Amino acid sequence: MEGSPIPVLTVPTAPYEDQRPTGGGGLRRPTGLFEGQRNYLPNFIQSVLSSIDLRDRQGCTMVVGSDGRYFSRTATEIVVQMAAANGIGRLIIGQNGILSTPAVSCIIRKIKAAGGIILTASHCPGGPGGEFGVKFNVANGGPAPDVVSDKIYQISKTIEEYAICPDLRIDLSRLGRQEFDLENKFKPFRVEIVDPVDIYLNLLRTIFDFNTIKSLLTGPGQLKIRVDAMHGVMGPYVRKVLCDELGAPANSAINCVPLEDFGGQHPDPNLTYATTLLEAMKGGEYGFGAAFDADGDRYMILGQNGFFVSPSDSLAIIAANLSCIPYFRQMGVRGFGRSMPTSTALDRVAKSMKVPVYETPAGWRFFSNLMDSGRCSLCGEESFGTGSDHLREKDGLWAVLVWLSIIAARKQSVEEIVRDHWAKFGRHYYCRFDYEGLEPKTTYYIMRDLEALVTDKSFIGQQFAVGSHVYSVVKTDSFEYVDPVDGTVTKKQGLRIVFSDASRLIFRLSSSSGMRATIRLYAESYERDPSGHDQEPQAVLSPLIAIALKISQIHERTGRRGPTVIT
């Protein structure tokens, strides 16, 4: 801290109409918009900072991290300069700007920060032609609730100026404290650059039996693993936790150098994009495989020979085996949560354990209230996200360590664990079709007409014959969620059709894909008989998909011949 105080400037600006957070306080747009549109990023950062009450903002501590994608360093510098100008007293930032989303949640909770700003577009591609995003997490470490997102949006629509210290420069590579004297500020502004892994690793040590996992990965008959960080934020975490701490060979971890464009790949851990891992697992050399998305909150599990564990199955299997984890043996299990589109496999486990299941809209923010109130111990979504009340975010590496703990305790392979689960609870065949990049007006009319059709009383009892299958409708609704903690009502969260055999069809309009719109179609069918557990999911679900396409007319109305992505 040398020389003259750094000036604080107020810069005039004009609002943008498209800065409504898409849920959880996040704004995701093409990188070119953030980079090229005048004041686009400062406007949104100012709206986020102004959403924090002035009394809480002055002198407070916040956490800042990114998944390392293109434009992150520039954006981090702007966030720091604006935080200083807006009265934030201290920022905790990961070295080189890197912090996984679970690590941000962890640090916020550990140091009781006022909140955190995460620069990520999750599983979307990076680079100049990719996507960029800004996400705001609140003081409990979780995504901003809708009331905060609404406040951010209202501020963004009327913003006239933002505060910034353009001459403030920080060294993101140097661990330790940096202090800056600002004009008209009584106390210096402080930035602390921290190791991105250490605080989060310390939390994991309190949850798991690291010795047991290490014995699995290093002892006689060791489990050979293959873990793909997909050139996102998780590289340092995989190396430090799985390799350095738990003894997995260094070559177990691949694509562990964070790259601005994720190596030109789509950092989305599913069978469509994690093909490098899938091919390696198909060779039979490795008994366990995992991949993570760009910011580390989503994951995929594969067994030997590429055996795929669906996210909904993974959630249910974790729930059924929580006794393998020291944390849950100590804390107990109070309840489970799942998003409405997620398969009902979790519900069958919950019934056997005599614990409640909370069915919420899609979006992790809905789980935070449940966990804060002590109602929910484990929650998950079909979109490859699972977590527990140790944080207020989904947590990919945590889920991988849970799986390794289960394997160690049960002394079974991934496939054996899954098949045993199916034998006990039945198999839920499940599939999601994404129709991406659609015109918002088109999707509005499709969903409007579909809602009118399926919620009409005459739709109940209708029968659909597809081949030898006959499906009878027993329930339909437009999903509405009443938060059991504060009574908040969230409406129009997807259309549900439930058939007499417990099969489900769900249509949901997704708002997480930037300027264009996405319709997601979900199909689920339950099979109790073990002789029917070896079928291909799409073959089982094809009659349901045919019904969905017939009643929605989505191909005819969008001009599409099929979905963009199938998971």
- The residues annotated as belonging to the active site are 122
Provide the token pair at 427: 């198999």
Q: Is residue 141 helix, strand or coil?
A: coil
State the burial class of residue 216 (Cβ atoms within 10 Å of its Cβ: 0-12, 13-18, 19+): buried
Q: Is residue 564 helix, strand or coil?
A: coil
What is the signed CA dihedral for 474, 478, 479, 480, rounded to 10 degrees? Answer: -130
| Longest CA pairwise span in the chain (Å) | 82
Q: Within a 10 A sphere around the Cβ of 215, how many other Cβ atoms?
A: 16
DSSP secondary structure string for all residues of 319-379: HHTGGGSHHHHHH----EEEETTS-THHHHHHHHHT--EEEE-SSTHHHHHHHHTT--SEE
CB-based contacts of 330: which residues, under 8 Å, 6+ apart?
none
SS3 percent helix, strand, coil of the chain, rounded to 5, is: 35, 25, 35
Residue type for position 215: S
Judging by DSSP bridges, how do beta strands 504-510 and 385-388 pair with one another? unpaired
DSSP secondary structure string for all residues of 423-456: HHH-EEEEEEEEEEEE-HHHHHHHHHHHHHHHTS
- Give the Å distances, CA to CA, from 206 to 119, 226, 274, 326: 28, 25, 31, 8
Closest CA to 266 of 288, 294, 290: 294
Paired strand residues for 212: none
Q: Is residue 189 helix, strand or coil?
A: strand
30 within 8 A of 131, measured Cβ to Cβ: yes
3-state SS record for 481-549:
EECCCCCCEECCCCEEEEECCCCEEEEEEECCCCCCEEEEEEEEEEECCHHHCCCCHHHHHHHHHHHHH
